[in-house]
Amino acid sequence: MRKIVLGLCFLVLCSFSDIRLHPIKMTTCLITYEPDRNNLMVDLNFFADDFKAYLEELSEKKVNFKNLDLKSKKTILQYISTHFLIEINNEKRELVFSSSNFKNNVFHIEFIIPNTVYIKEITSIKITNTLLFKAFKDQSNLVRLDLEGTKDYYSFRFEDKNETFTKLF
């Protein structure tokens, strides 16, 4: 009888929750070079339910990924610009919003880093990635650096306290 009551309580609590539970807490990132425009492209992917819940908790504002209004966009950009940083040749570079989309519980956002030095002149790239580290203790952030002739993968994990990665060329 006790198990039935506990089971019913769990079902009732879950029915009021908008959060879908999934075991993986992860973001992915692809950084590529666009030679014709001399830009770096940064593509980030989030599990939308995790990202939305955390942003709303932090900002106390509703975030809508389907119809990205100005307030939601500002909240998202402010969060990402504080927790995902890139330095090229020891110079901090600003991420400029390019586009975003939402599909199948994945929020995809694209940035450019304009007027990047010519690819052959890059001597170092330093990436700091603490996205969702404060939200989930099992958070992992995977980064793929795919530049002309160079493909590197790096995993930022909250539990390892990894926050930065530097690639020397």
* Nearest by Cα to 31 from 119, 160, 147, 162: 147
Taking only the tens of pLDDT, the chain with its 169 residues reads 443 333 333 333 344 444 455 788 999 999 999 888 889 999 999 999 999 999 999 988 889 898 888 989 999 999 999 999 999 999 999 999 999 999 999 999 999 999 877 778 888 999 999 999 999 999 999 999 998 778 899 999 887 777 888 888 7
- The rounded distance, in Å, linking the Cα atoms of 126 and 31 is 12
Question: Three-state DSSP class for 66?
Answer: coil
Q: Residue 126 is encoded by which pair of tokens?
A: 């330093």
The burial class, CB within 10 Å (0-12 / 13-18 / 19+), for 18 is: exposed
* Nearest by Cα to 121 from 57, 161, 169, 80: 169
Element (H, E) at 13: helix 2-16
Where are the domains positioned within the chain? 24-168
Q: Which residue(s) pair with 146 in the sheet?
A: 32, 151
Q: Residue 74 is encoded by which pair of tokens?
A: 């500002």
> pTM for the full model?
0.82
